[in-house]
Amino acid sequence: MLSTIRQAVILAGGEGLRLRPLTNRVPKPMVAVNDRPFLEYLVELLKDNGITEVVFLLGYLPEKITGHFGDGSKFGIEAKYSTGKVSDKTGTRIRNAGQQLDGTFLLLYGDNYYPLNLKKMLAFCIEHDTLASTTVYTNRDGKGEYGTENNIYVDVDGHVVKYDKGRKDPKLNGVDIGFFIVNKKVLELMPDSDFSFEEEILPLLVKKRQLAGYQTRHRYHYITTLASLKSTEKYLQPKKIILLDRDGVINRKPAEGDYIKNWGEFSFLPGAIEALRLLTEKGYDIFVITNQRGVARGLMSINALESIHRKMKTELAKHGIDIKQIYYCPHGEDEGCDCRKPKPGMLFQAASEHDFNLTKAVFIGDDERDRQAGEAADCPTTILSPGEDLVSVVKALLKSR
């Protein structure tokens, strides 16, 4: 049984006409994003996911890519190339690289970024046992985010049952963002003529029930247009982000079944203020992610909760500490909300609203629900053990970074 994927294949041959004049002298994937070629971010992402070999499928200005990546050793991977005509369509490029392809490989577009978790995706793929899997952004925040409408329907079993490039069908539930896991047998379905992988092969796989849809809530970013390039640039800027649970991490936890209902009941834990001060000094943006079911149980109002948070922020400001934003879930367990931990809704909301990558942030909590929420959001998570204070964990974190 397949247990790892070592090879990634990047479609990097197009002309990038919509990005002119930036693509007059370099191919689109080499356009600078925060002064680094976009492709470097992708290669780094692949390397971090255990990929050891990258096959670049080239067409337009191939020497700009071969010259930059060489044999790949400078980037910690082995680089291979397959070069075709500028006008070749995506499917043709993949078919023509056939000799170089592993039995199963990861296929991605050279102009699209999302914080891939290959291990999770591969587990999903093995479970579904289809010829290919694609990654589907759930687009929960509503149709048209980033001007992109849904173009795919994934059924409850995780199979793609509709792929509609025209985006007309109202019953669609996500956006196909590539990052495919492909069994090489797919090449047997390919025509000899010039063809597009998305337009010809994906619908064929859907028809055969051979395309699984790995759904993700992580936002994706692409560099197709100047506007999307700008937003990608913001997202890929290096950031220092820390997410903290509140009760039991920042302040003393109330007794089981009780809640902090007013400022009088709130007290900072030993070391918490020092920890927040250290994080602030090191340039971290601090967010709080907290369940406050006491609201749903009628033990306090939203106003009372927000008043506690205002006072907490005022108190911390005296120490030069700024809490960027506090996300709270006021719901009860049976309300079916999307935010109450162990669900990861608040983490995704913070990441989306503040343009950061959860896989590069850190979440610190004090119970099992925090651990599960962090895991579901692919966010590295530390759980304080009983008696352990925030400052020791923060000091260790700062030392390791």
Residues forming the active site: 245, 247
Residue 247 binds Mg ion (CB under 5 A): yes
Q: 37 pairs with which residues across the strands? A: 32
Residue nearest to Mg ion (CB): 248
Q: How far is the CB of 240 from Mg ion (least distance, A)?
A: 23
Q: Residues in the chain, how many?
A: 401
Q: Which two tokens stand for residue 338?
A: 């999307």
If the CB atoms of residues 80 and 246 are measured against Mg ion, the closer one turns out to be 246
| Candidate list 111, 176, 285, 366; residue touching Mg ion; CB under 5 A | 366
Least spacing, CB of residue 341 vs Mg ion, in Å: 9
- Of 91 and 248, which has the nearer Cβ to Mg ion? 248
Return the closest-CA partner of residue 179 out of 301, 298, 51, 282: 51
Alpha carbon distance 107, 125 (integer Å): 14
Stretch that binds Mg ion, among 219-227, 237-245, 254-262, 323-331 (CB under 5 A): 237-245
| Binding piece for Mg ion, criterion CB under 5 A, among 46-54, 68-76, 244-252, 313-321 | 244-252
CB atoms near residue 385 (< 10 Å):
8
d(CA 160, CA 105): 19
Query: Please, which contacts does 183-188 make with residues 24 or more away whose CB atoms are closer than 8 Å?
Result: 183/103, 183/104, 183/131, 183/132, 184/98, 184/101, 184/102, 184/103, 184/104, 184/105, 185/131, 186/131, 186/132, 187/94, 187/95, 187/98, 187/101
Shortest Å distance, C-beta 390 to Mg ion: 11
Stretch that binds Mg ion, among 53-61, 101-109, 242-250, 272-280 (CB under 5 A): 242-250
Site for Mg ion in 124-183 (CB under 5 A): none
Which of 88, 111, 176, 245 lies at the binding interface for Mg ion (CB under 5 A)?
245
**CB closer to Mg ion, 33 vs 326:** 326
Kindly state the smallest distance separating residue 306's Cβ from Mg ion, in Å.
Answer: 19
Question: How far, in Å, are 244, 256, 287, 326, 346 from residue 253 at the CA level?
Answer: 14, 8, 18, 17, 20
State the minimum distance, in angstroms, from the CB of residue 272 to Mg ion.
12
Complex with Mg ion: residue 248 or 294, whichever CB lies closer:
248
Report angle CA 214, 219, 224 to the nearest 5 degrees.
Answer: 105
Between 111 and 245, whose beta carbon lies closer to Mg ion?
A: 245
Binding segment toward Mg ion, per CB under 5 A, in 130-138, 246-254, 263-271, 392-400: 246-254
Least distance to Mg ion, CB of residue 370, Å: 6
Query: Does 291 sit near Mg ion (CB under 5 A)?
Result: no
Q: With respect to Mg ion, which residue has the nearer C-beta, 5 or 390?
A: 390
Among residues 37, 59, 115, 248, the one that binds Mg ion under rule CB under 5 A? 248
Unique residue bearing structure tokens 């370099």:
26
Would you call 395 exposed, middle or buried from its count of C-beta atoms within 10 A (0-12, 13-18, 19+)? middle
List contacts with Mg ion (CB under 5 A): 245, 247-248, 366
